């Protein structure tokens, strides 16, 4: 249950029909992120690659009328297995990714708890949380779907 209308929480498992090493290789194609995901703009990475200490910067534009700038600091990064991150900017909180090998390929477990910090977003959350939740869920669906299609195309 959401503790506050200002917080977006998400926890899910997503199957991919390729091994964790292939999922990780695709995740390392940082220069492709903006092409894969139309909601992401002005993306750059301090540190050049997925590793502990790297910081990802970008703007998120979900299908609702607001834009957010976020920074994602990779606190713990174990290739092909784990990413734990701290999020700051217009959203703050933590995010986690686990890649587990399964017979069919990879089970990707994701979880995050992110608080909206922009005043306009907080006002919108008080008035229309279901709309913001809908926008969040559409971004997640689009992200997972686009990434899965990319993996299938390169399997």
Q: What is the CATH classification number for the domain harbouring 66?
A: 3.30.530.20
- Residue 143, domain member (yes or no): yes
Report pLDDT for 80.
97
- Residue 47, domain member (yes or no): yes
Query: What confidence tens digit (pLDDT) does each residue in 8-56 have?
Result: 999 999 999 999 999 999 999 999 888 888 888 899 999 889 999 999 9
**Nearest partner of 91 among 1, 8, 4, judged by Cα:** 8
Q: How far apart are CA 66 and CA 68, in angstroms?
A: 7
- Residue 118, domain member (yes or no): yes
- Residue 121, domain member (yes or no): yes
Strand order across the beta sheet in which 82-89 lies:
7-16, 105-116, 91-102, 82-89, 68-78, 55-60, 40-46
- Residue 38, domain member (yes or no): yes
Residue of higher predicted confidence among 64 and 116: 116
- Residue 97, domain member (yes or no): yes
Structural domain containing residue 26 = 7-153
How many domains is the chain partitioned into structurally? Answer: 1
Q: How far apart are CA 15 and CA 102, in angstroms?
A: 9
**For residues 37 and 142, is the Cβ–Cβ distance under 8 A?**
yes
Query: What confidence tens digit (pLDDT) does each residue in 61-93 have?
Result: 877 677 889 999 999 999 999 999 999 999 999
- Residue 33, domain member (yes or no): yes
Q: Using 50, 70 and 90 to split pLDDT, how confident is the model at 3?
A: low
Record the pTM: 0.90
- Residue 105, domain member (yes or no): yes
Report pLDDT for 95.
97
The residue whose two tokens read 């949380």 is 129
């Amino acid at each position: 249950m959401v503790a506050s209308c200002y917080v977006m929480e998400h926890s899910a498992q997503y199957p991919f029909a390729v091994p964790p090493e292939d999922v990780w290789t695709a995740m390392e194609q940082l220069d492709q992120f903006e092409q894969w995901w139309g909601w992401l703009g002005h993306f750059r990475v301090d540190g050049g690659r997925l590793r502990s200490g790297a910081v990802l910067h970008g703007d998120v534009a979900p299908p609702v009328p607001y834009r957010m700038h976020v920074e994602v600091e990779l606190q713990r990064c174990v290739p092909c297995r784990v990413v734990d991150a701290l999020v700051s900017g217009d959203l703050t909180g933590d995010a986690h990714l686990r890649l587990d090998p399964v017979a069919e390929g990879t089970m990707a477990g994701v979880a995050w708890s992110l608080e909206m910090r922009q005043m306009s977003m907080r006002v919108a959350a008080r008035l229309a949380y279901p709309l913001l939740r809908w926008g969040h869920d559409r971004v997640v669906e689009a992200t997972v779907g686009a990434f899965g299609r990319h993996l299938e195309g390169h399997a």
